[in-house]
Amino acid sequence: MYWDREAETMDRGKLESIQVERLRETLRRARKSPYYGKLFRDAGIEPEQVNSVDMIKAIPFTTKDDLQAHWPYGFLAVMKDEVIRMHASSGTTGRSIVVFHTASDIAGWTDVLARSIYMAGMRKDDVFQNMMSYGLFTGGLGFHYAAEKVGALVIPAGAGNSKRQIQLMRDFETTVIHIIPSYAIHLFTVFGELKVDPKKDTKLKMAFIGAEPHSEKMRKKIEEFYGIKAYNSYGLSEMNGPGVSFECPAQSGMHIWEDHYVVEVIDPKTLTPVPDGEEGELVLTTLMREGMPVLRYRTKDLTRIIPGQCECGRTHRRIDRIKGRTDDMMILKGVNIFPLQIEKKLMEIPGVGTNFVIILEREGNEDSMVVKVEVQKEYFAGDLKQLENLRKRIVEELRSDILITPKVSLIEPGGLRSTEGKAVRVIDNRKE
C-alpha cells in the first residue's frame, strides 16, 4: 500500500518541521539565481531567519511572466554544467517556460511519482503503456522513469497512432495506461471501429489520466468504457511535472506531497489566503529542487484544499480536482463561465456523445456562444422532432447552469475534429 510509509503517514508536526528545514535550504539555493538573488536583496529576505512555513508569505509571488521575462537562465541556481536535463511547458501562447534539473532533481521527481503510482496500485508485475508525448513535455519521461523504478515493464508508446496503441495493448497484455482524458474517449471509438472490446479483449485494469482539466463525468465514462479504475493526477512543468499530487484508492481528492512542496490557495483577486475548503488559485513552492527552485508560483489552476484527513491514512493534505484555470475562464455578457461547467452538464444529458467545442463570436456589440456537440447516431436516423427536442433540452440545461442562452448545434458522431493531444474545447473568434 505504501511506497514509503514513513514519508506518507508522518505526523503533521514532523512534516511541518521537515518543510521548514527544506524551505530554509531552498531559499539558500534560490538566492544563487540571478532572479531570486536580486529579489532577496531588494526585499531584505534572509533565509536563515525562516523558522516557520508561514514566513513564506513575505516572499513575493512568482508568475509565468517572471519566468518568461528571465528566459532562459535567470532562475538557474547552479552552474550550467551541473544540470543534466531541460523540460519546457506545453503552452501554446508566448514563449515556453523552461525548467532545468540536476541529477538529484530527476531522482527526487522519479521517487515522488513512483510513490504516487504505487499508491494507486501499480506493481512490478504490471505492463505499463505510456501514451503521452515524450520530449520537452514532462508527462512522458516523468511517468516512464517512475514506472521503471516501481519495476513494471514499460512500453514507451508515445502519443497518437491509435490502431498501433490498441495492437500494443493486446500483444503485450498492457494492464496500466497513462493517457489524456479526451484521447481516452477518442480511442474508445477506434476500438469500436476495429470491433475490439477493451473490456474483453485486453488486460487493462487501470489508467492514469491528467494533462488537461476534465469533469468527474468524463472520468466515469472512461471507467465505464474500458472497465477500469481511472486515477486523477496533477502536475505542471514549473513544479517538475506529474507527481505533484495524485489520487489514492479512496479517490477523495489528490494528495499533494508536502515533503516536496509548500501548498497555498489564494483568492486570485485579493491575493490573500483562503481557508481550507474554499476555492481559489493554487500556489506552489518547490522544496527538493537544486537546479531551479521556484517560490510561491501562481499556477493559475483553481482548486481547494479538502478539509480533514483521508481514510487511506496518509497525512499529506488533499486538493480537489482542478476546476479550470483563471485564464481559461470565459466572460460572456458579464457572466464567468468555465469550459468544465459545460462539459459536466453535457455529460449528464442522455443521448449526448463525448466530443464538443465552444465557439465564441462577436456580432456587432454583442457576444454569443455556439456549442457544437456530438450526439448519438440514432438521433439522426429518423424523427427530426426527436433531434430538435434534444437540442432544446441541451439549450435549457446549459442556460440553467451558466445563466446565458447558447446556440446549440448537434453533430453526428465523429463530425467534430478529434485530436490525439489535449482537446481544444474553446475557439474564441472575438479576439481581434
Residues 96 and 180 in one domain: yes
Q: List pLDDT tens digits, range 359-382.
A: 988 877 778 899 999 998 888 887
Residues 114 and 259 in one domain: yes
Q: List pLDDT tens digits, range 41-74.
A: 999 999 999 999 999 999 999 999 999 999 999 9
| Percentage of the residues of the chain whose pLDDT score is greater than 90 | 73
Which CATH number does the domain housing residue 407 bear? 3.30.300.30
What residues have CB less than 8 Å from 188, skipping those under 6 apart?
198, 225, 226, 354
Residues 62 and 145 in one domain: yes
Query: Residue 182: its pLDDT value, please?
Result: 84
Query: Residue 371: its pLDDT value, please?
Result: 93
The residue assigned the cell 456523445 is: 353
What residues have CB less than 8 Å from 55, skipping those under 6 apart?
49
Residues 25 and 170 in one domain: yes
- The average pLDDT across 256-264 equals 98
Question: Contact, 283 vs 265, CB < 8 A?
Answer: yes
- What is the end-to-end Cα distance of the chain in Å, rounded? 53
Does 431 have pLDDT greater than 70?
Answer: no
Say how many C-beta atoms besides its own lie within 10 A of residue 313's C-beta.
13
Domains identified in the chain, total number: 2
Give the phi and the psi of residue 69 in degrees, each rounded to 5: -70, -25
In whole angstroms, what is the distance from residue 140 CA to residue 159 CA? 9
4 half-sphere exposure, CB direction, 13 A CA radius: 13
The domain containing residue 211 runs over which residues? 1-326
In whole angstroms, what is the distance from residue 22 CA to residue 218 CA? 38
Residues 351 and 396 in one domain: yes
Chosen domain end from 297, 326, 355: 326
Q: List pLDDT tens digits, range 381-405.
A: 877 888 999 999 999 999 888 888 9
pTM of the model: 0.84
Does 93 have pLDDT greater than 60?
Answer: no
Chosen domain end from 305, 326, 347: 326
Q: List pLDDT tens digits, range 143-193.
A: 999 999 999 999 999 988 999 999 999 999 999 999 999 899 889 999 999
From residue 374, alpha-carbon distances to 212, 360, 380 in Å are: 20, 18, 11
C-alpha cell of 397?
A: 440545461
In whole angstroms, what is the distance from residue 56 CA to residue 343 CA? 37
Residues 389 and 311 in one domain: no
How does the average pLDDT of the chain come out, rounded?
92
Strands 254-256 and 318-319: antiparallel
CA-nearest of 429, 420, 291, 287 to 358 is 429
Sequence-ordered strand ranges (E) for 248-349: 254-256, 261-266, 280-286, 297-303, 305-306, 318-319, 324-325, 330-332, 335-337
Q: 266 vs 93, which has greater pLDDT?
A: 266
Query: Residue 89: its pLDDT value, please?
Result: 81
Does 92 have pLDDT greater than 60?
Answer: no
Q: 342 vs 126, which has greater pLDDT?
A: 126
